[in-house]
Structure 1
Amino acid sequence: MTTTSPGISRRTALGRIAAAAAAVGAMPLLASADTVAGKPAPEKAGPGRLKQSLSRWTSKAPLPELCKHLKSLGFVGVDLLYADEWATVTDNGLAVTMGYPAKRDNFITMGFNDPANHAALLKELEATIPLAKRAGLTNMITMFGNRKDGIDERQAIDNCVAGLSKIEPLAAENGVTLCVELLNSKVDHHGYQGDSTAFGVAVMKGINSPNVKLLYDIYHMQIMEGDVIRTIRDNIQWIGHFHTGGVPGRHEIDGTQELNYHAVAKAIADLNFQGYIAHEFMPSRSDPFDSFAEAFKICTV
């Protein structure tokens, strides 16, 4: 996850989008007769066993245009959106696969590891979770936060458990899962405390709720730990959401980087994972939708 848009240029070429859709075998999805909050329900899953979405910040396209292109490629949703963007996505027949509870510059660094943050974080979530339910969202993101002097690892875990346990009942009541993200502290987010699966799992075990899960960012955990497939298999019960990104560089998830994402996706699907896998990388091609289409194909298993 990141809050800054990449400076990647793009050129609009609908013909190329159509060609990319054909290349991955994507086809329009049937609209559901169900509704969410008086609007058409999000589309059903596309080809393959995984429900794939795209993080909003990876594209500079206007949101309505992005939704139309993603839908044509077989994506089922858009990830990491603020409340004022949710309706645009759902009106276009896609799911909001992860929502933000607030807009602020310190969203990543201000987390539940420090009890001084709890009151403000809980206030944000208390206000946003009911809105998420009405909009049909099932996932909301939150953070562990940056390390603080005087708070050791064990205390930070206990602080996270204490704070998240206070909001868990409201999340459960509204059918929302709070997804706490694992990030790397080596390259992108120096000082972030939730930089290991072990830390995140310790917090999840302390809460032990289906409504508080890890957002396992494959890009970040490959940088910190590697051994991604084994780690996912061993901890799938604590994981509610996935992000992708190529290592190194956080670009395409193709053969230019060190992970075999098709194998990773197959491992996740083989575990009968029912959540979303959201692509979150900076496209390096002149037309980002070529990269998005390729990522969709790679993770169609």
Structure 2
Amino acid sequence: MASNQNRRSAIKKMLAGTATIAASGVLVTSFTQPEKDKQMAADTLKGNINHAVCQWCYSSMTVEELCIAAKAIGIKGIDLVGPKDWPTLKKYGLYSSMCNGAEINLTDGFGDKQFHAQLQKNYSEMIPKVAEAGYKQLICFSGSRRGKDDETGWNNCVEGLKPLVALAEKHNVVLVMELLNSKIDHKDYQCDRVSWGAELCRRLGSENFKLLYDIYHMQIDEGDVIRNIRDHHQYISHYHTGGVPGRNEIDETQELYYPAIMKAIVATGHKGYVAQEFIPKNPDKIASLTKAVHICDV
């Protein structure tokens, strides 16, 4: 318990310092970092990428603490928060760039008819809330295969999603299915290739259904990241990052070269968000987040 209190105390001190100097545009962290990392500031960002961050990766911090840090870095959105946290985001002028809270879990999704009734109830209630709050995107999942072939999975997803896509169109909300790897992290997940997700988009035929291209997951399951982004970008409305292997920092310790990937995303005309979804190994998590944003700021 004492160690947890010490960690929380350190975080609060760090964020207090961040808040104090945020107006000057310089992010200073309480842990040792190279001087060049300390000088990264929100006002140095180029503006070609709308930067966001996934809240769950910073579970040792409150949502408010993360908002303070994100604001100082120049991050515009927080991913994967539901209605209870939206007021905090609005307090700091941050956008809920990928809403959640309607899904059952990652395994029980639209690819299986037994979950349709519960999912349709959940999403029918959440879609209007997202719209009323002024937000745009709501995450969803295919769920596990459970022995189903591709055709059955597509047909089931279309059947379950079609009435919800119509409701989303009415409220100007986009349902976004995440691509997850089925090799390491989410065994048996069905929407594990961008081509599978793109085919589902074609069958639903609506601008209110898109894909979340998770770069970490797709590197594991299919690779060829830049080519796949170029070939399928019209079906992608959101991106997540993560270092491969391990889902840690996206720096030189892992195998992907994120500046080139970000340039490819910008070249497609993407106007949505790119959210950092790596789990920091560095004790100074905010320094890692700051560095990641600048790596991606092409």
Is the contact made by 1:82 and 1:103 (CA closer than 8 Å) also made in structure 2? no
1:197 aligns with 2:211: no
Residues 27 and 74, structure 1, Cα contact 8 Å, conserved in 2: yes
C-alpha distance in 1 between matches for 2:124 and 2:61: 31
- Give the alignment of 1:78-227 within 5 angstroms: 78-102=78-102, 104=104, 107-149=105-147, 151-227=148-224
Per-residue deviation, residues 123-176 of structure 1 (Å, max 9, x unmatched): 101001111111111110000000123x32111111112221111111111111
Other-structure match for 1:18? 27
Query: How far off is 1:27 after superposition?
Result: 2.9
Matches of 1:103 and 1:95 in 2, distance apart? 20
Q: Which runs of 5+ in 1 are unaligned?
A: 1-8, 29-45
Shift of 1:23: 2.6
C-alpha distance in 1 between matches for 2:169 and 2:277: 27
**Structure 2 length-normalised TM:** 0.87
- Which structure has the larger Rg? 2
- Mapped partners of 1:144, 1:88: distance in 2: 30
Cα–Cα, structure 1 residues 270 and 103, in superposed 2: closer, same or farther, change >3 Å?
closer
- 1:113·1:156 contact (CA, 8 Å) conserved in 2? yes
Deviations 1:70-116 (A, max 9, x none): 01000001000122111111121000011113375xx1001111112
**Separation of aligned partners in 2, 1:207 and 1:161:** 6
Gaps of 5+ in 2: 1-6, 19-25, 30-36
Paired-residue identity, %: 42
Q: Please tell me whether the aligned partners of residues 179 and 214 of structure 2 are also in contact (alpha carbons under 8 angstroms).
A: yes
The answer as to 2:277 corresponding to 1:277 is no
Q: Is the 1:82–1:101 contact (alpha carbons within 8 Å) kept by the matching residues of 2?
A: yes
Of the two structures, which has the highest relative contact order with CA contacts closer than 8 Å and spacing of 6 or more? 1
Corresponding residue SS for 1:278: strand
Deviation at 1:48, TM superposition (A): 2.6
Question: 1:20-35 maps to which residues of 2 (within 5 A)?
Answer: 23-27=39-43
